[in-house]
Structures are given as C-alpha cells and as structure tokens.
Amino acid sequence: MATNDHDASRRRIIKGAGLTMAAAAAAPALAGSQTGQNNAAQNTPRSLENPQSAYPRPPFDYQTQPWPALAGRMHPRPDHGEQSYRGSNRLAGRRALITGGDSGIGRAAAIAYAREGADVAINYLPDEEPDAREVVELIEAAGRRAVAIPGDIRDENFCQQLINQAANQLGGLDILVLNAARQQSHDSIMDITTEQFDWTVKTNLYAMFWLSKAAIPHLPEGGAIINTTSTTGWTPPEDLLDYAMTKAAISNFTKGLAKQMASRGIRVNAVAPGPFWTPLQVCSNASEEKLTGFGGDTPMKRPGQPAELAGVYVQLAESSATYITGEIYAATGGQTPL
C-alpha cells in the first residue's frame, strides 16, 4: 500500500508540473523596459535556445558569505528576471506578500508579480536590506506599490504583525508566497545542535504555520497560498538532514491545507525546486566540491536560475489556475522525482 501511495504521489507531482508548464513557459521574454506592460511588444516570445547553455554552468568559483548571504555579492550573480521578465497583466490589481522576497526565488516572484500588475510586499532579514532595496526599486519601476517589511519570521508575534502590515499597506491580501528558508550543511546528525535544528524548523515550518493561519482571514475567495518546498523532500541529501525533513513536511502541509481551504475558495500549492543558484548556496556551509560543481549532476548540467521559476509562481497565483490546488510543481532540471 505504501508503494502505491508513493507512486500516486509521484504521478501527482508530475501532473501538476504538466498542468502549468505551458503557461509558465510563455511568461519570460527578451530583455526590455520594466514599464509599459500593456504594450503588445511585451509578449514577444523568447528565442529558442539550448536550455543546457542558457545560463552559467559549473565549475563555479568557490565562495562563501556569512548568513544571510546577499545576491549582489555572488558571482555569477543570479538572474531573477531583472532584464528578461515581461508581464501581460495576468495579476492586475492583485496584492501579494512574499517572504524571502529580497533575493533568490522570492525575488524572481516579486519582480514577475509586479510586472504582471500586482502590488507586492516583501519580507526579509534586516541584514538583507541592500538586496531588498533593489527589489523595491524594481517593483516601483513596474508602476506598482512596493512594501518592504524586514523582520525574523521565527517569532510568532512578528508573523502576525507581518500579515497585518502587508494587508493594511496593500489594501488587502490576495496572494501569500512562503519562500524564506534556512539551510545549513552538516556531515552528520551529531553535528547538528539543538539550537541549529530549532532555527531551521522555526524558519521553515513554524513560520509557514503561523503566517498561513494569520493570512487566511484576509484572503478572499480566489486567493492563493504558494509554498516553496524542495526536491530534497523526497530525495534527501545526507548533508541536509534537517532541511530536507522540513521540505517533506511543507509538501504534506500543502496537500492537507489545500483540502481544508477548498470550501473557502482558497487554493494552496507548492513549488519544489531542484538545484537553484541562490544565496542559500553560498551561506549554507556547503563543501567546496559541492558548491563549485553545483547543479552539474542534472541532465541540464547546470543549476536553475530564479528567473526560470518566475512564471510558475505567476501561474499558480492567477485566476486561470482555478482547478489547481494541493499540487507540487517540480522543477528539477531533469532529475526525475523518485
């Protein structure tokens, strides 16, 4: 019975990816201005290219930063869609809160949402202010309202304040993207202290619970919650024991909450990235071998870039996805889920 459930889960992941692939692929286009989103030229399709060579491939330079790292100090710098993403009003008038919106996948979602017509609030740690300032400028350049709310989501009171402040300053809340995460590499369970374990679990799980619970009363019918899980949730690396555990729990929470929220007209889904080039990689205590070769073991021979997930977060938030809930969208660079 367990094997059948596992196979069904795998089919569901792949099905969810197929349902959204066409719309997600159509979102990014060639580089251009950040304004004039209604211009027909904004919809120019991206030129065909080999996806293996579309972005940087390993070996990468070995680099480390203290937690939390800044995207602006990475080399190569991640592509969040700053110059490539063009919108077509798919989220016009919507209001979104994105945790971890200063960099990485959260930043890519923030840029895409703004260029699709949404007002966006981002949460981040105070030390990430330089990256956050850039995101605020990009949202405003798209002609949308930007709200920056720094703070630590390991605190339940702050989580409640975060939701209330975002809803008040945006005039409501339609979309909640829970993306912020803590990841640290440890060779053995014996190396993970209780303090470190608590930090990871509170950031990745407690905050998801607190923020979802606080946001649901604000979300209207048609609203959406989008979590960020990971392929490590079903193929855990030996050095990311606690992180992978939380990502498996996020997938489970997503499916359960989706069932609860269906009667309220709120959809709940999750995105499960494989290896993506984000600040998490350079501040997670990863080995030199793992970092310099990051993503090279995928069929794409490279890590994904945050910009490559932007369209997925848009699709899961927009109204055309009304029948998609409780799904896990896997973006793995060809690493088939087990």
pLDDT at residue 47, as a whole number: 82
Asked if residue 268 is part of any domain, the answer here is: yes
Q: What percent of the chain has pLDDT over 70?
A: 86
Note whether residue 43 is domain-resident.
no
Output the CA–CA distances (angstroms, integers) from residue 50 to 53, 166, 265, in the order listed.
Answer: 6, 40, 40
Q: Which residue in this structure is represented by tokens 């997600």?
A: 24
Phi, then psi, of 273 in degrees rounded to 5: -70, 150
What tens digit of pLDDT does each residue of 200-213 get? 999 999 999 999 99
- The count of domains in the chain is 1
Is the pLDDT at 132 greater than 80? The verdict is yes
**In this structure, is residue 120 part of a structural domain?**
yes
User: Given this model, what pLDDT does residue 337 score?
Assistant: 61
**Residue 91 forms part of a structural domain:** yes
Specify if 100 maps to a domain. yes
243 is catalytic: yes
Q: What is the pLDDT of residue 291?
A: 92
Residue 79 DSSP one-character state: -
Contact yes or no for 163/97 (Cβ under 8 A): yes
Give 170's pLDDT tier (boundaries 50, 70, 90). Answer: very high
Residue 176's pLDDT band, with cuts at 50, 70 and 90, is very high
- Residue among 243, 313, 323, 329 flagged as catalytic: 243
In the predicted model, what is the mean pLDDT of the chain?
88
> What pLDDT, on the 0 to 100 scale, is given for residue 14?
38
Give domain status of residue 29, yes or no. no
pLDDT of residue 277: 92
- Residues 280-297 have a mean pLDDT of 92
What band does 13 get if pLDDT is binned at 50, 70 and 90?
very low
Pick from 9-23, 58-72, 80-94, 217-231: least confident: 9-23
Averaged pLDDT for residues 258-279 = 96
For residue 249, what is the domain's CATH number? 3.40.50.720
Expressed as residue numbers, the domain containing 172 is 57-331
Interacting residues of 27 by C-beta distance below 8 A, sequence separation 6+: 85, 87, 90, 112, 310, 311, 314, 315
Reported as a single tens digit per residue, the pLDDT across 39-92 is 333 456 678 999 999 999 999 999 999 999 999 999 999 999 999 999 999 999
Q: Is 336 part of any domain?
A: no
pLDDT of residue 335: 84
